[in-house]
Amino acid sequence: METSRRGFLKSVGATLAAVGVTAAGRTAPAAVHPAAALQQLAGSTLAYTSNTSDERMGRRMITQAALAMLVAEHLNERIARRQSFTAYDVTQALRLAHPAVNILHAEVRNVVHRRMHSVVAAQFYRQAMMQFPTGSACCYLPAT
């Protein structure tokens, strides 16, 4: 069992490296397209967890590693297009793109904020609190 766990962790590390996620959270040039790397990870039996109530509704729970990959890919696309967005915008886009997967906003929000911390620190983007009818949210805006 320990060997398969080590193998899985090595596989996840290689997949994250393939899409350019480094230990510092910065993006390096990707040797493999993120979608292809995600497909490799999603193809493994460990990419999804089991949750009976969600499975009855036709949705699968996603692992943290696979979710981090989806969020990273989506953020890279938005950043490349210099789009403004909130974490909820990312959640909605991922839910639309992956309707069979149970994507929880709280988990997406955490990944978005962690990943964008280094982007904001590098002054590629800036943060602004925005007011919406349902409350306030952190909006990421391209730096001028």
| Predicted confidence (pLDDT) per residue in 104-120, tens digit | 999 999 999 999 999 99
Could you say which DSSP state residue 116 is in? Answer: H
- The total of structural domains in the chain comes to 1
Task: Show the domain range for 137.
Answer: 2-142
Bin 67: left if φ > 0, else alpha if -120 < ψ < 50, else beta. alpha
Strands 48-49 and 135-142 turn out to be unpaired
- Per the model's pLDDT, the better-predicted residue between 27 and 57 turns out to be 57
pLDDT at 17 over 70: no
Q: Is the pTM of this model over 0.75?
A: no
Using a CB cutoff of 8 Å and minimum separation of 24, what contacts does 57-61 make? 58/100, 59/99, 59/100, 59/101, 59/102, 60/100, 60/101, 60/102, 61/101, 61/102
pLDDT of residue 11: 46
